[in-house]
């Protein structure tokens, strides 16, 4: 009997536990933006922070700093006081995920913010690696 590579891959996926599948499919969420005059509204902001598993306020602070713009949260949206392109925001979301969400060792998203000797660290539950949580300056 001969198996095609795709079929084998398919079978392998089906055998994997649900949790592992989630890792393989993890994608950094993209901003759904809408311009209102000089403001940029990120319509799915809360959803993005939930997908990343991080506090929305922390994510917003990071974005505002990186994009050098003032802004606020308004219900599930983020309102940035500057006209921005989606690509600029998505690039920062990706930077955020790499620094604060995806494991620096194994690249999985199963990380948690915790404390070690009074210092905030990010710890990977998949491989046990950890790194100091960088402060947003
Ligand atoms: Zn890891």
SS3 per-residue string spanning the chain = CCCCHHHHHHHHHHHCCHHHHHHHHCCCCCCCEEEECCEEEECCHHHHHHHHCCCHHHHHHHHHHHHCCCEEEECCEEEECCCCCHHHHHHHHHHHHHHHHCCCCCCCCCEEEEEECCEEEEEECCCCCEEECCCCC
Do 53 and 113 fall within a single domain? no
Do 115 and 72 fall within a single domain? no
- pTM for the whole thing? 0.81
Residue range 48-95, pLDDT digits in tens: 999 999 999 999 999 999 999 999 999 999 999 999 999 999 999 999
Is 57 contained in some domain?
Answer: yes
Between 22 and 107, name the one with better pLDDT: 107
Whole-number Å distance, alpha carbon 98 to ligand 1 midpoint, is 12
Do 34 and 93 fall within a single domain? yes
Residue range 3-48, pLDDT digits in tens: 666 666 666 666 655 555 555 668 999 999 999 999 999 999 999 9
- What per-residue confidence (pLDDT) applies to 103? 96
Q: What CATH number corresponds to the domain at position 73?
A: 3.30.30.170
Whole-number Å distance, alpha carbon 33 to ligand 1 midpoint, is 31
Domain around 136: 105-137
Do 96 and 109 fall within a single domain? no
Whole-number Å distance, alpha carbon 109 to ligand 1 midpoint, is 8
Do 81 and 94 fall within a single domain? yes
């Amino acid at each position: 009997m001969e198996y095609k590579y795709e079929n084998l891959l398919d079978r392998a996926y089906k055998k994997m536990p649900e949790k592992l599948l989630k890792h393989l499919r993890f994608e950094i969420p993209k901003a759904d933006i809408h311009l209102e005059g000089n403001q940029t509204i990120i319509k799915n902001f809360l959803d993005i922070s939930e997908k990343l598993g991080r506090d929305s306020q922390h994510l917003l602070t990071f974005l505002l700093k990186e994009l050098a713009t003032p802004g606020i949260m308004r219900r599930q949206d983020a309102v940035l006081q500057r006209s921005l392109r989606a690509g600029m925001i998505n690039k920062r979301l990706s930077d955020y995920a790499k620094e604060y969400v995806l494991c620096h060792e194994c690249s999985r998203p199963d990380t948690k913010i915790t404390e070690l000797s009074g210092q905030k660290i990010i710890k990977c539950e998949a491989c046990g690696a950890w790194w100091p949580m960088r402060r947003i300056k």
